[in-house]
Amino acid sequence: MIFLDAAATTPVRREVLDAMWPYLTGEFGNPSSHHSLGEAAAAALADARAAVANVLGCRAGEVTFTSGGTEADNLAVKGIALARQAADPRLNRVVVSAIEHPAVEESARYLERFHGFAVDVVPVDGTGLVTPEALAAVLGPETALVSVMYANNEVGTVQPVAELAALARAQGIPFHTDAVQAAGWLPLDVKALGVDALSLSGHKLGAPKGCGVLYVRGRTRIEPLVHGGGQERGRRSGTENVAGAVGLATALTLAQLDQAGSGARVTALRDSFTAAVLGGVPGAVLTGHPTKRLPSVASFCFPGTSGESVLLELERQGVVCSSGSACAAGSDAPSPVLTALGIPAEVAQTAVRFSFDSSVSPPDLDAVASVRTLGRA
């Protein structure tokens, strides 16, 4: 099988599993327990937090472990907006881009439905970029929070996060970025990015599903969503997923070490694969930005075909990829991300996304680009 759906998920790396194993077996303590087993678990959790903080260039106390990217996004958007509204009821607007993952988009809609917020959606251009001008146009004195993703999961477009965050910061507005797809490919130094909050997910990086991180800067106020025993400095109650945190920290550290080398290699493979598809399939169009995109995502529309039948044919030939995000798979509706880029609904329905991890091989990509039915199903 040729697996080209790494933006949906990745297998757990061997080194990650090895690092986690003790905390699933002999060292199984609860980090809140005051005996030696508990202390060993607490120490492992502290080490994992320090390792994540090292990659993000922040303090360990600014790292909150969550159950994944979705929870990290929910905590950032709802938690920061609600804390700001509680401090000043006039802060009742949230700004999100038009191509956010549903974890951000639906969190904003929840604030609208239940907490009296208005949601300002910043449009993107035809390549999926949020321009500083477009963001500036929606910021105002009532804006409680801005959330713009670092890299898009369907088309791979990478946003000018530092520039956008600086605009928000100049007005004293906290800026959150969903870096779930960016992690492992793009720099994650939160100070260089100038962000106040940043979400990560383990399973896109070679750690297991069900572990994530939310970075929250210094004194940024944030209302917890999960109440209980006060773990994670009161930001996220519940017995910590020690093995998951260790796995995420290991995967993130390894990805950071590999980043420069695998980024350049995968970018070159992506570009030759893209050229082969565009050259070989009449009418094929690349979606997203031609250069400001993740090394790992090559996304196309094949007008005049059915995206689903291209996927079925590819799978019959042993190639696994997707029509867009895994969350939207199986839905007949065109992708809101592609329609936000101005792609007509009937073309958006022909979308196919190929996404790679660093193990992707040139022969595999050559094989896929030459699949005869690509774009003709």
Residues that bind ligand PLP (CB under 6 A): 68-70, 73, 101, 103, 149, 153, 178, 180-181, 201, 203, 212, 326
Q: CB nearer to ligand PLP: give 92 or 101.
A: 101
Q: What angle do CA 121, 127, 133 make, to 5 degrees?
A: 50
Q: CB nearer to ligand PLP: give 69 or 334.
A: 69
Catalytic residue among 211, 301, 321, 327: 327
Q: Which of 346, 288, 349, 352 is nearest to 315 (CA)?
A: 352
User: What's the closest the beta carbon of residue 325 comes to ligand PLP, in angstroms?
Assistant: 6
The position carrying tokens 């079925």 is 312
Q: CB nearer to ligand PLP: give 157 or 350.
A: 157
Calpha distance 135→324 (Å, rounded): 25
User: What's the closest the beta carbon of residue 205 comes to ligand PLP, in angstroms?
Assistant: 10
Phi then psi for 64, rounded to 5 degrees?
Answer: -115, 125
Q: CB nearer to ligand PLP: give 42 or 242.
A: 242
**301 given a catalytic annotation:** no
End-to-end CA distance of the chain: 20
Write the CA distances from 313 to 94, 227, 375, integer angstroms. 42, 47, 10
Cβ–Cβ < 8 Å for 298, 274:
yes
Calpha distance 25→22 (Å, rounded): 5
Task: Please identify the residue of the shown chain whose CB is closest to the bound ligand PLP.
Answer: 69
User: What's the closest the beta carbon of residue 73 comes to ligand PLP, in angstroms?
Assistant: 6
User: What's the closest the beta carbon of residue 149 comes to ligand PLP, in angstroms?
Assistant: 6
Residues annotated as catalytic (active site), given as ranges: 327
